[in-house]
Structure 1
Amino acid sequence: MIAVIVPAHNEEAQLAACLQSLARAAACPALAGEAVRVIVVLDDCSDGTAQVAAAQRVHTMECKARNVGTARALGAQQALAAGARWLAFTDADSEVAPNWLSQQLCQQADAVCGTVQVRDWSPHGDAVRAQFDALYQDRDGHRHIHGANLGLTAQAYSAAGGFPPLATGEDVALVQRLEERGLSIAWTAGARVTTSARKHFRAPAGFGATLLQLGGALAVLPAVL
């Protein structure tokens, strides 16, 4: 079984599109009918996120962490207990390509780091988009790490100790542990995810914060591109 874990804190406006894209990816013919379990981790939600998830008939679990590393780890724990052989991770404000899961699996690696593209640049404007395009390597062999586009075997996840309880950078920390253990990582542009460029982002030094940094609004955050 393949499991997809989606952490969500007050994502009622974004989650339906994310889950609909995951349903399409789960139905990809290249998966040959293998079961796909989508787990939404409701992290201290006070809006209608739970109702959106219920309407899409996905698995849910709740926590009060307000911490994306903890939320991802809890979802992974449930997936492993259910017998998942492959764990895929994305974010509630993101939409995956119809072949996202099959592209991860066909890399035949212990882990897969994919790329992202921005759905709508209007919150930032053309100057930030130009900066992003100049710096971002949307190609095979890139070295970008995104929690919105990450997959790995159950064995690799366990060997690396899972996600640490970090509010930002939990994805980078996990991939670094994979590298330290000599596990194979595919850096591919084939597994594609479209994400938001919203300014009211969740991770304090994640992708959204990096876009603000490119625009000069934040000068001291480390770039995660």
Structure 2
Amino acid sequence: MIGPGEIDHLVIVIPAHNEEELLPRCLAAVGAAIEPVVATLDPAPPIVSVVIVLDRCTDGTETIAAGFPGVHLVRSDTGGVGAARRAGVRGVLKTPADFTGRTWIASTDADSAVPENWLASQLAFARNDVHLVLGTVEPDECLDGEMRARWAAEQWLVEGHPHVHGANLGVRADRYLAAGEFPGIDADEDIALVAALRRLRVCEIRTARIPVRTSGRLVGRTPGGFAGYLRAQTARLPVIMETGVLQVDDAGALP
């Protein structure tokens, strides 16, 4: 029996563009995060839908994705991460009636690895009537040495942090639809969605308890994305550290 604030359908959306190297790590981590959710007997566990959006893939990404148990594959030729995330959600939630207050959408990336408590924590927040969960990310070993230290110097990886990342975002489906869904843009689709949700005055949590490990590469699969963010941040960090000025934009993310 599903009580007030419970979630009976969990939709996990993962856009992927030629990620045959890192997708196995992503799926192993997602599988580990699903286990404690489906093992719950009281209340009844939600139905879990994992959607992988194959965005113009020309490598072995589709073969790897198809091997994940119960996966939904959605093909996209748009070449934009915003459109890919949106298509992933629509691959399972096909009509407005599917976007209920008992459905939760969790977003991550194919080059990322979520922690084991990623989904359980989001659902716990949802049970307390939270509509939006914003988590943190940290680069993997691809970003090393001085660049990692410089990146870490700017981050506020604490509760109430100012960051917005599509690789670590959860939202209740009815609020997501009311906000207009992920916009079909090439970059900052996560920031645009969060800005729209905040205009609706949704209840949000910004937490550092569910950090997602993502690729620290400086050349990514999208024009901007986290790779572009890393390039920009590491390039301007000396100025920030000298002036001590750190700016946050209106969407609550670092510029």
Q: Which TM-score applies when normalising by structure 1? A: 0.91
Match of 1:51 among 63, 76, 79: 63
Matching residue of 1:86: 104
**Quick check: 198-207 or 134-143, which moved more?**
198-207
Q: How does 1:148-159 map to 2 (within 5 A)?
A: 148-159=167-178
Match of 1:67 among 80, 84, 88: 80
Match of 1:213 among 232, 236, 240: 232
**Once the 2 structures are TM-superposed, how far is the Cα of residue 205 of structure 1 from its aligned partner?**
2.4
Aligned equivalents of 2:185 and 2:65: distance in 1?
24
Matching residue of 1:27: 35
Contact 1:16/1:56 (CA < 8 Å) preserved in 2?
A: no
**Once the 2 structures are TM-superposed, how far is the Cα of residue 65 of structure 1 from its aligned partner?**
0.7
Alpha-carbon displacement from aligned partner over 1:169-193 (angstroms, at most 9, x marks no partner): 0000000000011111110112221
Distance 1:138-1:59 versus aligned 2 partners, 3 A rule = same
Aligned equivalents of 2:172 and 2:233: distance in 1?
34
Match of 1:99 among 75, 94, 117: 117
AA matched with 2:29: S
Matching residue of 2:158: 139
Aligned equivalents of 1:67 and 1:132: distance in 2?
26
Contact 2:135/2:209 (CA < 8 Å) preserved in 1?
A: yes
AA matched with 2:91: Q
AA matched with 2:77: K
Contact 2:131/2:202 (CA < 8 Å) preserved in 1?
A: yes
Gaps in structure 1 of 5+ consecutive residues: none
AA matched with 2:158: R
AA matched with 1:10: N
Q: Among all aligned residue pairs of Structure 1 and Structure 2, give the percentage whose two residues are the same amino acid.
A: 38
Aligned equivalents of 2:136 and 2:181: distance in 1?
21
AA matched with 2:113: E
- CA RMSD across the alignment: 2.1
Give the match's secondary structure for 2:224: coil
AA matched with 1:14: L
**Once the 2 structures are TM-superposed, how far is the Cα of residue 140 of structure 1 from its aligned partner?**
0.7
**Once the 2 structures are TM-superposed, how far is the Cα of residue 215 of structure 1 from its aligned partner?**
3.3
Contact 2:51/2:88 (CA < 8 Å) preserved in 1?
A: yes
Match of 1:12 among 10, 16, 20: 20
Matching residue of 2:136: 115
Aligned equivalents of 1:31 and 1:101: distance in 2?
12
Contact 2:37/2:119 (CA < 8 Å) preserved in 1?
A: no
Alpha-carbon displacement from aligned partner over 1:107-130 (angstroms, at most 9, x marks no partner): 23111000012221xx44322212
Alpha-carbon displacement from aligned partner over 1:112-161 (angstroms, at most 9, x marks no partner): 000012221xx443222122111111111001000000000011101101
Aligned equivalents of 2:148 and 2:218: distance in 1?
14
**Once the 2 structures are TM-superposed, how far is the Cα of residue 31 of structure 1 from its aligned partner?**
6.5
Contact 1:41/1:60 (CA < 8 Å) preserved in 2?
A: yes
Residues 1:167 and 2:182 aligned together: no
Give the match's secondary structure for 2:206: strand
Contact 2:108/2:169 (CA < 8 Å) preserved in 1?
A: yes
**Once the 2 structures are TM-superposed, how far is the Cα of residue 203 of structure 1 from its aligned partner?**
2.7
Aligned equivalents of 1:51 and 1:35: distance in 2?
24
Gaps in structure 2 of 5+ consecutive residues: 1-8, 237-246
Moved >6 Å (runs of 4+):
none
Q: Which TM-score applies when normalising by structure 2? A: 0.80
Aligned equivalents of 2:82 and 2:68: distance in 1?
24
